[in-house]
């Protein structure tokens, strides 16, 4: 008696994906319509396909029969971004560019599409540039994308002087700014870094309607005032009179270091030179264990 046997035999997956691609935003045979973005652009889709590929869409489309034919409004997402998500759901691939990749990542997190998130992260890492570094870092912090956060921080560390001049830097959240200021590898001198943080705080003050000191309160401890020379501290005090960004106590602590001629007793993070720190005569007193840090 012959034994029966079975096996899964795969056909041409590329041809299958190509056939499904013809259904993307195709009104023929579609049974659900989305009104997407502020302009409420029509996007046509198929309930069975969306619900089988994504639990979030399954829940969204499980309305009572009498209202199933009504268009679904998605005003919070750009049409190009939503179509990229639809493309992934239909073909298991996605066409990305620098203009939409971060927003597609955001949508993939919203819809619980982990594989699409992975594809977005890999694309963002491969195409990261100065203008988008902070925006990508912000997204990584907000969505707990540790791998992307690490990659973006390394990029920011290597291009710090250029990155702090971008709009994305001025739009960083408090948590993202705190994370960046913890780094010892920023390729920028502390004077320029303090100036950049002051600009960030002024933008935040204008947007949030809070004082500069209030906006910067949680990030100022990450600035290393002990690295500044006496003349630089004097200039900083003069600038500080205008907005009170830095507490008087913090400035007094930096002056105390100069008066005593040593960094002992101060917070170690205040005395540690970053990769881009320019050498100053008093640095030899700060922390002998970290002599190698900073510019030679």
The answer on pLDDT for 262 being more than 90 is: no
Q: How many domains does the chain have?
A: 1
Instruction: Establish if 57 belongs to a structural domain.
Output: no
**pLDDT tens string 17-44:** 899 999 999 999 999 999 999 999 999 9
Residue-range definition of the domain harbouring residue 226: 184-296
Residue 274 lies in a domain: yes
Would residue 102 count as lying in a domain?
Answer: no
pLDDT-derived band at 79, boundaries 50, 70, 90? very high
Residue 44 lies inside a defined structural domain of this protein: no
> How far lies 22's CA from each of 63, 119, 226, in Å?
27, 22, 63
Residue 36 lies in a domain: no
Query: Is the pLDDT at 77 greater than 60, yes or no?
Result: yes
Please report the pLDDT score of residue 95 as a whole number.
97
On whether residue 115 sits in a domain, the answer given is no
DSSP 235-283: HHHHHHHHH--S-HHHHHHHHHHHHHT--TTS-HHHHPPPTTPPP-GGG
User: Does the residue 252 lie in any domain?
Assistant: yes
CA-closest candidate to residue 220, choices 254, 171, 259, 263? 254
Q: Is residue 295 predicted with pLDDT exceeding 50?
A: no
User: Does the pLDDT at position 65 exceed 70?
Assistant: no
- The pLDDT value recorded for residue 239 is 95
The model's confidence at residue 1, banded by pLDDT at 50, 70 and 90, is: low
The rounded distance, in Å, linking the Cα atoms of 279 and 282 is: 9
Please indicate, yes or no, if residue 125 is contained in any of the structural domains: no
Residue 236: closest CA among 249, 246, 222: 246
Taking the C-alpha atoms of residue 66 and residue 32, their distance in angstroms, rounded to an integer, is 13
Contact 85, 79 (CB under 8 A): no
pLDDT in tens, 85-136: 999 999 999 999 999 999 999 999 999 999 999 999 999 999 999 999 999 9
Residue 7 has pLDDT above 70, yes or no: yes
The band of 256, judged by pLDDT with boundaries at 50, 70 and 90, is: confident
């Amino acid at each position: 008696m012959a034994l029966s046997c079975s096996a899964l035999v795969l056909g041409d997956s590329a041809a299958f994906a190509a056939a499904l691609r013809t259904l993307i935003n195709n009104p023929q045979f579609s049974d659900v319509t989305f009104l997407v973005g502020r302009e409420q652009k029509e996007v046509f889709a198929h309930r069975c396909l969306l619900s089988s590929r994504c639990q979030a869409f399954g829940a969204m489309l499980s309305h009572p029969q009498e209202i199933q034919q009504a268009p679904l409004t998605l005003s919070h997402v750009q049409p190009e971004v939503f179509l990229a998500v639809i493309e992934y759901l239909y073909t298991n691939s996605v066409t990305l560019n620098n203009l939409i990749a971060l927003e597609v990542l955001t949508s993939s997190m919203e819809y619980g599409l982990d594989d699409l998130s992975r594809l977005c992260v890999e694309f963002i890492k491969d195409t990261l540039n100065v203008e988008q570094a902070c925006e990508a870092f912000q997204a990584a912090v907000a969505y707990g994308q540790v791998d992307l956060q690490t990659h973006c921080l390394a990029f920011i560390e290597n291009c710090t002087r250029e990155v702090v001049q971008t709009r994305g830097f001025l739009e960083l959240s408090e948590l993202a700014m705190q994370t960046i200021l913890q780094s010892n590898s920023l390729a920028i001198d502390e004077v320029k870094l303090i100036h950049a943080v002051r600009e960030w705080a002024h933008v935040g003050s204008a947007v949030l309607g809070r004082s500069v000191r209030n906006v910067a309160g949680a990030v100022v401890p990450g600035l290393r005032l002990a690295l500044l020379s006496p003349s630089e501290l004097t200039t900083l005090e003069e600038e500080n009179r205008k907005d009170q960004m830095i507490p008087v106590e913090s400035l007094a602590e930096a002056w105390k270091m100069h008066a005593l001629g040593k960094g002992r007793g101060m917070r170690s993070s205040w005395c540690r030179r970053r990769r881009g720190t320019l050498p100053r005569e008093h640095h030899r007193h700060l922390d002998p264990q970290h002599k190698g840090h900073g510019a030679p």
